[in-house]
Structure 1
Amino acid sequence: MSSTLIGVGVGPGDPELVTVKGVNALRAAEVVVVPVMAAADGSDGGEPGRAEATVLHYVPAEKIVRIVFALNERSDRARREAAWDAGGRHVARLLGERGSVAFATIGDPNVYSTFTYLAQTVSALVPGTVVETVPGITAMQDLAARSGAVLTEGTEPLTLVPVTAGSAVLKDALSGLGTVVAYKFGRQAREVAEALRETGRIDDAVWGSALGLPEESIRPAADLDGTGLPYLSTLIAPARRGGGRGGKL
């Protein structure tokens, strides 16, 4: 019988935002894998990551297996890929032993998720593996709901930019008329603020981090002063709007 690897989006952090389908998938899998950031010594650091903390609301701890990934590693490609390979081998073993594995990822498994790389690795190691995904609520949706920022109206485009791609990419997006969402901008908060001011988009923009968690922070982008923010901070710069209700239809 084929092994099944299913990526389950568990949302930005609020356990109430995990979908019913997601909960059912987590409970149905024989084992639930969660990604954790590597500590300096290569261990899992001992503390649960955001995905694990969310999953623990729905499945027992003994069903959860941590796998270390170099989640924020961009400069050392060899270290990053070694972590993917090790994680893939670990999941491949679990599939051979248990048959079905769920991988819990914050947000959505098809939006900037480690699951993509894991699935590619496992599929190469275990040909015939069935790979499925369960969508999850994204940070931009949660931030829009909590801040009151409308993501899109009528014919407006929506552009999602990982600021890790460089501030120039963000500035190009902000120069357009549609809504721009920026992910992973915490370490480049100063550059993001400058891009917003230069393009005249700062007044209506809002940013947030740790959404749905006790340490949640949601602030106007105009308050950005260059101080470093959490890596997973999200920003919404709404489209330039006018013409009253339905003006963009």
Structure 2
Amino acid sequence: MVGTLYGLGIGPGDPDLITLKALKILQAAPVIAYPAPEDKDSLARAIIAPHLPGGQKEIVIETPMVPGRFPANDVYDKYSEEIAAELNVGHDVAVLCEGDPFFFGSFMYIYARLSERFETVVVPGVSSAMASACQIGMPITSRYDVLTVLPAPIPAEDILRRLQACDAAIIMKVGRHFAKVRDVLGTLDLIDKAHYIEHATMDNQVMMPLSEATFEKAPYFSMIIVHKRGEAWK
């Protein structure tokens, strides 16, 4: 008998935002696996640490966070086989994923390698995008609004073009691209209709109207939410 592979969405950072289903699986699984930057602590593990029962085997998926090297296929090849070895001896494995597993989630790279070989259950989680909107108090869409999700590292001209074609946007992974994104929003006269947030739902959360964000760089876990009407209900 082989084990079941679980991809658990564990939410954006607040430990209480894990779903009941994910919590039950997390506490029952004999093996958990989670991503971690090389030589740094895992944010995913830190999020669920209050819920761990103890005594579980832990697999740390050390991943290089270097532009141009993600996803690191050799890394996911290696750890997928380590996870497969546990599944083959009958151990269920719960792989932790910040936010939602299939919304920019790292679990998708494990899923791609193992889901055809093993029974796999994916448990959705609260995404950072939805959590950020709630923290800001900014509904994102209403009625027939078109929402666009943009990764900030894409070229400025692509961001501008896509913003022109939508009603509202979530711009993720802002980080060192903050100034570029702000300039594009300025070109479109949208700065006063945008909000900035970093580390949503965590103890070190910061949020403000984009017009008050005068710095040049932001943390990796940051995003900008903009609605062209300013408020979705208008």
* Larger CA deviation: 61-70 vs 146-155: 61-70
Provide the rounded CA distance (Å) in 1 between the counterparts of 2:83 and 2:56: 14
Aligned partner (choices 168, 183, 189) of residue 179 of structure 1: 168
Aligned partner (choices 65, 74, 78) of residue 82 of structure 1: 74
Report 1:1-249 matches (<5 A): 1-39=1-39, 45=40, 47=41, 49-63=42-56, 65-70=58-63, 72-76=65-69, 80-123=72-115, 128-240=117-229
Contact 2:2 2:90 in 1 (8 A): no
TM-score, normalised relative to structure 2: 0.91
How many residues get paired? 234
How much does 1:61 deviate? Answer: 4.5
Provide the rounded CA distance (Å) in 1 between the counterparts of 2:17 and 2:66: 28
RMSD, aligned CA:
2.2
Judged with a 3 Å threshold, the aligned counterparts in structure 2 of structure 1 residues 64 and 149 are, in CA distance, closer, same or farther, namely: farther
Provide the rounded CA distance (Å) in 2 between the counterparts of 1:64 and 1:143: 32
Identity within the alignment, % = 24
Unaligned stretches of 5+ residues in structure 2: none
Provide the rounded CA distance (Å) in 2 between the counterparts of 1:166 and 1:130: 39
How much does 1:96 deviate? Answer: 2.2
How much does 1:71 deviate? Answer: 5.2
Unaligned stretches of 5+ residues in structure 1: 40-44
How much does 1:31 deviate? Answer: 1.4
SS in 2 for 1:180: strand
Judged with a 3 Å threshold, the aligned counterparts in structure 2 of structure 1 residues 199 and 64 are, in CA distance, closer, same or farther, namely: farther
